[in-house]
Structure 1
Amino acid sequence: MKEQSEDSEIQSLDDTSKTATPDMARADQKAQSPPSTEKDSYEVGWEGGEADPLCPRSYSTLKKWRITLVICFVSLCMTCASSIYTATYQQMEAELGNSRIVSILGLSLFVLGISFGPMALGPLSEFYGRRPIYVISWTIYVIFIIPQAVAKNIGVILVFRFLDGFAGSAFLAVAGGTIHDLFDRAQLQHPISIFSVSPFIGPSLGPLIGGLICSYLDWRWTYYVLIIWSFALWLAIIFLVPETFHPVLLRDKARKLRKETNNESWFAPIERAHRSVAHAIGNSLLRPFQLLFLEPMCFCLCIFAALLHGILYLFFDAFPLVFVNNHGFNLWQVGLSFLGIGIGMILAIFMNPVWNNARNHLVQKKEQETGIQGASEPEFRLPAAMVGSLIVPVGMFMFGWTTFPWVHWIAPIIGSTIFGFGALLLFTSIFGFLVDAYPTYAASAMAANGFIRCIFAAVFPLFGEHMFEGLGYQWASSLLAFLTVGMIPFPFLFFRYGKLIRGKSRFAKK
């Protein structure tokens, strides 16, 4: 199909960059004419494959992890900024005179900005590389914190919260590609797991950091701390994160060869690709919605992930109600209560070897059945989601029915830890399945997932406080738990019948 070839064109460029090897002896010759017998003899690739010193996959392990950790810390900082704001409500409302629902709108607008950013910023990295997107977007992000820090009315804060979320979302859109640039498939599991958890750990740290600041300093210091933190990371990006996108590096290599040899015949594959920025952004905006509404597996799993993300952000309303009203927590103690979710997510990361072994067992069984080495199915990524779907409701029910004043405060925190554990199992499993099931449209599938997750995360806080006060803490939590119970069948159904459904799909791997 034409649209399939368009969507996979950049991927094919990246594949070409891994295998093509130019005859570099020609580089010492001046202004030769292209030989007529070899169509692509002047196509630039990696010398010696990925062992080429210019190839990011040949970097030392230390350098690879240095780059990975910088972008993970940036993602953590940006998502932490979404929730650190919740600690400022009381002081901000007293000074600016706005209502609580307007304050919550600032949280929602930040997350809404995150939902739109990846679809617009992600395709730009395919043309200009990862590094320019990182540097420009994070520069804008740091600058846009300043108006929030000095704002004299709530309107300024709301507008720049949205713009900040949009600018910072570039790292969520592009960082996964950077990790893929650095590590081959055999090395990818650990760095991608650490990157996957960092945007979810950030929101659980925000209330603690914000609570500590606002307990002892003016609320504007949350923004001053963010400026200092973000500027330090900006310096790390400038000095520690080079360009890693293979097609762009090969383009730079071709330009250097043309200059050194005075031979305009040298070219990189990306220079022969006939794609426009507007067309790429158009596809990036359209195809995620095609996958959402035309692919039942993508739709159901994205809704499940979105529900979990919405609950995570709704907790920013629920925790202050539960722990202040029932247990008399102060601001920083409320922030400390969010660590239960973060601890649960970190524990889930340590379960990765279990799910890898489960997948390897399924692959070996498939190999025996088919006689094909390395035979696999996308559904082999789903066992973690199957377990996670059972654990999440347990955590939600435990949280809800331990929110009585006479029950020790540690009980609902344990419930939230169980929720965080199950939620991360689901997130990582769903992400892996979408990439495997829609390999040609993996970026679009992940954009669809990110968009719907952030929409839920933006909307849920707007009604969370009213729901918990209207239904009571126990039944409000139970309502959310029953919604997660309703989603339990999907991972099991798709594990059993996913291959059959994919066989009828327009977009999925057959």
Structure 2
Amino acid sequence: MSSDPAAHTSPDAKSPMLPSSPPSKSSAHSEPEIVLDLPHTNGSDLQRLTQQTGSTHSDMFQRFKISVKALTWGVPPEVDPRSYPRRKKIQIAGALSICSLIGGLGQHIYAPSLLQVQIEFQTTTFLVNLTISLWAWMFGFAPTLWSVVGDTAGRKRVFFCSWLIFLASCVICWQSSSISMLIFGRALQGASACAVWIVGSGTISDLFEIHERGKALGFFQSGGIIGPILGPPLGGIIGATLGWRATFIFLLALGCAGMIIILFFVPETLRTKFVPAPPKTLNATSSLREKVIAVLTSRYNPFSSLRFLRYWFVSFTITTATCVTLYFWSWLTYAPTAWSANYGFNETIVGLAYLPFAVGQFSGAQLGGYLSDREIRRSSERNNGARRPEDRLRVIPYAMVPFCVGVVGLSWSVQSKVHVAVPLICLALAGVGFMTVNNVTTVYLVDIFTTRASAISALIQVIKTGVAASAPLWSISLLSNWDLGRYFTAIVILSALSSTLCLAVVKWGYEARTLKVEWREKEPAASASVDVVVEEQSDAKE
């Protein structure tokens, strides 16, 4: 990051991933002189010819290294990525969306073939189910590590390294000779698949201004939404015809296509040249306490994002998103039993029953992005040209309407065994509300932590996974006393109450943020980065 390799590249050999730069001094002598009258050349002429030819080979090798680095490791952008043409920004967001779709497919793609795995390895149901749950847990907690690299060293190197691990995990799962080897491969798969989803949020923050960021993030999230939903029906077809190992061969083939997309269509966007670095707060006279605080609050600490929870407006926003996510994990767990017991669905039909929810989620991501961006534009009119990110959260009460209606209607209609069209419609409505809430809350937090976009996205993922994904464990005792309708009605009531926290953030969050944390009113990423610098500096002084 300290030097720019692109400055040593000649114009005629530029990689398409590299921005244009003026010719360097070395490139002016890159062509060797051709000596035609060799019998009359002296020793110095031959020596000069040899040196120039060697220099040419060296330049070619240097250009090759720069091209390889640009494709795999990435080089810092020469211009602010927010100034890229809109077509290029949409291309980058679309490429990352496709990769997140591929990664998300792995969550449940071989779930319909779990019985085949159990029979082949002669193992217990618990260990077979662990291959599913461990994927989800690693997907939830590994982002804390990826986000550190993505926010400090670069986005593209995270995409490249994580995708290599993803390809390796597909091979391990495909060639598994024991259940323990399969569990290990699935853990690697979950840990690597999450990187594009989390660090990709940082790339969207790098590319888009605040007034267009919501819609862009919704477009990016679409792939990660659709992937887990398409996994079961695809996996059911592949597993039934070719066996459970074929599902990982299919993922491997898609993963190779994803690697090509990352190499050639996703450049580095981390604005290291346009964002001030955090100030150095340590020196030779610093005390041990100051050094410990500096380490704990450093952006290189994977758990440093936890300190963002001390801001009540951050905690309130994440609480709302987590309560809504309780429904998602609970329904994923009990849907197969509910559909088969009340409607007689087999595994294939159960997988297809997730499709209305996928359509609802896709619609909710687009709707949430559009509505929250509209609120940002209105915010500028309300506040004399100032755009307040908190105004995005005005969308939350509207999103709760389809969510509450959908979840209550879904649970009671399934329990009452009404016509199957009713719960499927309610499932789509619940998906709209669920994803709108998640989109709006995520974009708001990215807005106020622009240079730590990957870190704040990882924090949201960790908390939602830690709390909501454990719901199937502690909900067993509740369902033993309650029926399905009462359980999901309780989740709806909890979610509706938590949405009032976002209204509190709308009303008082901006004042609290600007007065206590010293965020600046001017939004563009440069000012947002100053905010992070200020908070890190204040941490070091405490």
Q: TM-score range by the shorter chain?
A: 0.7 to 0.9
Quote the residue 2:66 is aligned against: none
Which residue pairs with 2:302 in the alignment? 285
Question: Highest CA radius of gyration, 1 or 2?
Answer: 2
Moved more, 356-365 or 218-227: 356-365
Structure 1 residues without counterparts, runs of 5 or longer: 1-8, 11-23, 31-51, 251-267, 368-373
User: Quick one: which amino acid aligns to residue 175 of structure 1?
Assistant: G
Q: CA deviation at 1:58?
A: 6.0
Write the distance in 2 (CA, Å) between the matches of 1:326 and 1:457: 25
- Residue 191 (structure 1) aligned with residue 216 (structure 2): yes
Contact 1:317 1:464 in 2 (8 A): no
Aligned-partner Cα distance in 1 for 2:514–2:203 = 31
Q: Of 471, 474, 486, which aligns to 1:475?
A: 486
In the TM superposition, what whole-angstrom CA distance separates every residue of 1:26-66 from its partner, at most 9, and x where no partner exists? 96699xxxxxxxxxxxxxxxxxxxxx987655655544433
Q: Which moved more, 1:495-504 or 1:310-319?
A: 495-504
Note the alpha carbon deviations across 1:329-357, whole angstroms, 9 max, x for none: 12221111111111112222443444433
Match of 2:459 in 1: 448
Equivalent residue, structure 2, for 1:365: 382
1:232 to 237, 257, 265: 257
Separation of aligned partners in 1, 2:126 and 2:515? 45
Q: How do 1:12-31 and structure 2 match up within 5 A?
A: none
- The answer to whether 1:407 aligns with 2:418 is yes
Displacement of 1:509 after TM fit? 5.8
Q: 1:340 aligns with which of 353, 356, 360?
A: 356
Which string of whole-angstrom CA distances, capped at 9 and with x for unpartnered residues, describes residues 169-221 of structure 1?
22123222333444455654543221133323322222222233334442222
Q: Which residue of 2 aligns with 1:91?
A: 116
TM-score, normalising length: structure 2? 0.72
The residue that corresponds to 1:435 in the other structure is 446
The 1:330/1:26 distance shift into structure 2, 3 A limit, reads closer
How far did residue 92 of structure 1 move? Answer: 2.3
Who is 2:142 aligned against? 117
Counterpart pick for 2:342 among 323, 326, 340: 326
In 2: Cα distance, 1:466 partner to 1:150 partner: 39
Pairs within 5 Å for 1:390-405: 390-404=401-415
Q: CA deviation at 1:320?
A: 0.7
Among 423, 442, 452, which residue is 2:434 paired with? 423
**In 2: Cα distance, 1:471 partner to 1:209 partner:** 34
Written as runs of structure 1 = structure 2, the 5 A alignment for 1:34-183 is 56=81, 61-126=86-151, 128-183=153-208
Give the distance between the partners of 2:253 and 2:477, measured in 1 at CA: 35
- Give the match for residue 19 of structure 1: none
SS at match of 2:413: coil
In 2, the alpha carbon distance for the partners of 1:463 and 1:214 equals 32
User: Is contact 1:347–1:421 with CA below 8 Å preserved after alignment?
Assistant: yes
User: 5+ residue gaps in structure 2?
Assistant: 3-20, 28-76, 283-294, 522-542
Contact 1:348 1:422 in 2 (8 A): yes
Of 238-247 and 435-444, deviating more is 435-444
1:68 partner SS? helix
**Equivalent-residue separation in structure 2 for 1:185 and 1:498 (angstroms):** 17
State the shift of 1:407 in Å: 0.9
Stretch moving more, 224-233 or 342-351:
342-351
Could you tell me whether the CA contact under 8 Å between 1:123 and 1:280 is conserved in 2?
no
The corresponding residue for 1:207 is: 232
1:360 counterpart letter in structure 2 = R
Identity within the alignment, %:
22
SS at match of 1:326: helix
- Tell me how far apart the structure 2 counterparts of residues 287 and 149 of structure 1 sit (CA, whole Å): 36
Q: Deviations over 1:95-140 (max 9, x none)?
A: 3344444433322221221233222122323554332222221011
Residue type of the alignment partner of 1:403: V
Corresponding residue number in structure 1 for 2:270: 245
